[in-house]
Every structure is written in structure tokens, then in C-alpha cells.
Amino acid sequence: MNRVMTKTVPGIGTTTFLMDVTAGLSTGYYGETTTDPKGNVTAKVYDKTGRLYQVKDGSTVQSTYVYYADGSQNTVTMRTALRKSTSISRTRR
């Protein structure tokens, strides 16, 4: 758990990846964080079955994903620059 990998690009800098993070998450959930050369942190949180649950920019949730019981995607809610949420849903057949 908490594996760390780095990638360095000459002239640009180093990006750090921290994977299998569980601290501060609900039981069974795990995440990964990426820190770019400018210090920007992006976190991805995955649910108990490994599906993407949230994407965070720092501590701010940028998008949340909800799934049907069969695993297909139900909705995606995204935070916009105007701080409004937009939901996208596909019709189930």
C-alpha cells in the first residue's frame, strides 16, 4: 500500500504518483494522488469494485461518478468554474 513512483522529464520537472491510498477514505475505497512539477495535486478515489468514484483538485471535488448495481455508469456530476453542478445521465434500456 501507499506505493510511490516518480517520473522526471528534463526541463519540466518531476511528477510524483502515490497509489493505493486508504487514509481518510471509507472502508474499501482507495485512491491515488498525482503531484505535478508545479505542486498541483490531483486525487482519484475508487470504490470497492475499482470504479472511479471521485476526482479531486487538492481538496475540492471536481467530479463524482455514480453507477447502477450492474456496474454501468449512471451519472457524472462535475463542478464548474461557476460552482454549479451538471449531471449527465444516459437512458437505461
Whether the predicted pLDDT of 40 surpasses 80: yes
β-pairing, 52-57 vs 60-67, is antiparallel
pLDDT 10s digits, 54-74? 999 988 999 999 898 888 888
Whether the predicted pLDDT of 44 surpasses 80: yes
Across the chain, mean pLDDT equals 81
What is the reported pLDDT for 54? Answer: 94
Q: pLDDT category, 19, cuts 50, 70, 90?
A: confident
The CA distance from 80 to 60, in Å, is 11
What is the reported pLDDT for 11? Answer: 86
Burial (Cβ within 10 Å: 0-12, 13-18, ≥19) of residue 41: middle
Whether the predicted pLDDT of 52 surpasses 90: yes
